[in-house]
Structure 1
Amino acid sequence: MGYRMGDPIHTPTIRCPKPDCDRLLINGEACGCTWLAEPEPDPLVGTLIACTDPRTGKVIAAGRVTDVARDQDGLSLTLAQHETPEGS
């Protein structure tokens, strides 16, 4: 889509979010700098996890997920461990 000189433009103007670039992005087109958006965090980040002993059902570890690594073999979770109450 193009515009002639003097035609009103009804699209919002957006600036490049890179601090040292700050160029206007016309029609949302990239400005060509090396800025890349941060990837969205995995939806499991922030979830509470409890690991239990399958034989006894007791909680052996509990924590909040801080990082997730996914690959074709499965996933790996990193937890910020919480203290588990005795006798859980």
Structure 2
Amino acid sequence: MSERTGFELTFTNPFPADDMPAEQVVEVFPTTAVGSGGYPIYVDRTKIIRAEISDAGQVRMIASGGGQRPQSPSAVHRLPPADD
């Protein structure tokens, strides 16, 4: 069994509609980069969502492109270990 070191970030849509769910869950995984707080930078599979996540699970969202204003997640959960 290997340690799966990612997190699930839950984002709440402030304006839910029929074509947009009220919540979206995104899995992020560590990169080799470190943020300004000294903690690892995590990204989703598209590399659009970027976040610095502390050992205590505190999240600082990072813009991945110009003009972005990233929303903070409403919940953060460490992913369980994965079976190999």
* TM-score in terms of structure 2 length: 0.26
Decide which structure has the larger Cα Rg and report it: 1
Name the one with the larger strand percent.
2
- Structure with bigger RCO (C-alpha 8 Å, 6+ apart): 2
* TM-score in terms of structure 1 length: 0.25
